[in-house]
Structure 1
Amino acid sequence: MDKRSVKLVVISDFTCPWCFIGHQELLKAIAQCANLPVVFDLEYRPFVLHQTLPTDGLDKDEWHAKRFGREKWQQAKQIVLAKGEEANIQFSFGGPICVTLQAHRLMAKAYDIGGSSQQLKLTTLIFRAYCEEEQDISRDDVLADLAVQAEMMSKEKALAFLATDECLAKTQHQIAEARSKGVTGVPFTIIDGKWAVSGGQTAPVFVKIFSKLAQCSDSPPSQAGTPLPVAAAA
């Protein structure tokens, strides 16, 4: 049986815990759909939630406490920790919150080098570095080490790439394009350039959508998918 190719574009930011949870849930759903007549082309595209942070970052826990109020932030942390455990994530709230443009630029390079599979390796490593290991993912040396772990390139080549402006225009264009299409929060998943799924959905939601897609090709996959102009995924 011929398999239908399904293009998934996931717009996310590494500083967003719900993006990491959504990432894990999406991968779980894809694994659960192994027997369906579909194959997935997964691409992660950038979004920068906190564009005005200083280049050297701020204390993650203190920044959130000041932004939301300490009591609300403590409540939010408990929710994130519980949801994280369900998704096999051990969230930690130490370390710096930082601008993620360099990390997204490295992600763009990963896609250019090895497509979905290469980018996927790096995506998971960067999420774990920031959300679990309290690393500063704005630092070139940290990102270069992650590129090595992802078997993407040597540390020397990664540092050389990060010292240039390669992929910067592309990354900035994709961020601006997402905002121009009305994306204000992440994660935001675009399916086949036609439907959008907003927020960190659970694996069963994605499985339901993918099962529908396996059965038909020209109707909305489920009520969870909102119609979206094809140009939004271009």
Structure 2
Amino acid sequence: MDNAPTPAGRLEIVSDVICPWCWIGRAHLNRALAILAEEGLTFEIGWLPYQLNPDMPAEGVDRATYRAQKFGSVERGAELDAQVAEAGRDAGLAFRHDLMTRTPNTVEAHRLIRLAAATGRQHELVGRVFRAYFQEGEDVGDRAVLARLGTEVGLPAAVIAEFAGGSAARAEVEQESRALSQAGIQGVPSFLLDRHLLFSGAMPGQRMADGFRQAVAILRSRAA
């Protein structure tokens, strides 16, 4: 008999795969989910697409050049990388900015993540893509790289073939990313419970757990 608790709702994370705070946020999310699971509070988990650079060329760009243009200098970009690396260490993550040579277009990654939703491995896939980019220096805008990462986390061959063989889910990804932006989401990661925006940012796991617990209580009281 399955005694697993009924999920308290659908918790969705709006994210981009090249957002370092989203990787950190996922680590804190895992901690929050573990805390709440001990209390019998669980959620359905989903990931929603957001493009920080919607006009990025399909092939991506040189990361050092891009960041120098974005932040004014290579030195300023390095300072920000150091801040991210420190926050990552606090979350148990090791950033390898020295291996990251390109800033990719993220549509292909979001396509695969969306196609993975029905497999039950979406959360695992997102974590693998983050690690590939931030720790291994992989080009996560490359379809072949993404197909390999999908295979590594156990996505069915049919899903990999659908992803690799055309543009499945591309229109949906682009539409949803625009819709989320138009709905007022300007920062990622952002966390939604049953499509109610809870907060944005990679806050520590205990604070996340407190926020999720409070949100569940509020939504349940409204429904009563």
Deviation readout 1:60-97 (Å, 9 max, x if unpaired) = 23321231123322221111010111112211222211
| Counterpart AA for 1:14 | V
Identity over the aligned pairs, expressed in percent?
25
Q: Does 1:180 align with 2:182?
A: yes
Tell me which of 7, 16, 19 is aligned to 2:19: 16
CA-CA distance at 1:59 after TM superposition: 2.1
Q: What is the TM-score with the length of structure 1 in the denominator? A: 0.84
| 8 Å Cα contact 1:6/1:38 also seen in 2 | no
- Secondary structure of the residue aligned to 1:53 is coil
**Cα offset, 1:186, TM superposition:** 1.0
SS in 1 for 2:48: strand
**Number of residue-to-residue matches in the alignment:** 215
| Partner amino acid, structure 1, of 2:107 | L
Aligned to 1:67: 70
Return the alpha-carbon distance in structure 1 between the equivalents of residues 6 and 111 of structure 2.
Answer: 32
Aligned to 2:82: 78
| Cα distance change of structure 1 residues 13 and 214 upon mapping to structure 2, 3 Å threshold | closer
1:195 deviates by 3.5
Unaligned runs of 5+ in 2: none
Compared CA separation, residues 214 and 176, structure 1 to 2 (3 A): closer
Secondary structure of residue in 2 paired with 1:218: helix
Q: What residue identity is the alignment partner of 1:72?
A: R
Q: TM-score, normalised by structure 2?
A: 0.88
| RMSD between superposed Cα atoms in Å | 2.1
Unaligned runs of 5+ in 1: 220-234
- State the 1:55 CA deviation: 2.0
Map residues 126-205 of structure 1 onto 2, 5 A cutoff: 126-154=129-157, 158-205=160-207
**SS of the residue aligned with 2:43?**
strand
Structure of greater relative contact order (alpha carbons < 8 Å, 6+ residues apart): 2
- Given residue 123 of structure 2, which amino acid in structure 1 is its aligned partner? L
The whole-number CA distance in structure 2 between the counterparts of 1:212 and 1:49 is 29
CA distance in 2, matches of 1:29, 1:211: 10
- The SS at the match of 1:10 is strand
Change (3 A) 1:195 1:82: same
Q: Show the counterpart of 2:44.
A: 41
Determine if contact 1:58/1:98 at 8 Å carries over to the other structure. yes
AA in 2 matched with 1:105: R
CA shift in 2, pair 1:150/1:72, >3 Å = same
Q: Please say if residues 111 and 163 of structure 2, whose CA atoms lie closer than 8 Å, have aligned partners that are also in contact.
A: no
C-alpha deviation, 1:188, in angstroms: 0.9
Q: Which moved more, 1:117-126 or 1:54-63?
A: 54-63
Alpha-carbon distance in 2 for matches of 1:66, 1:138: 20
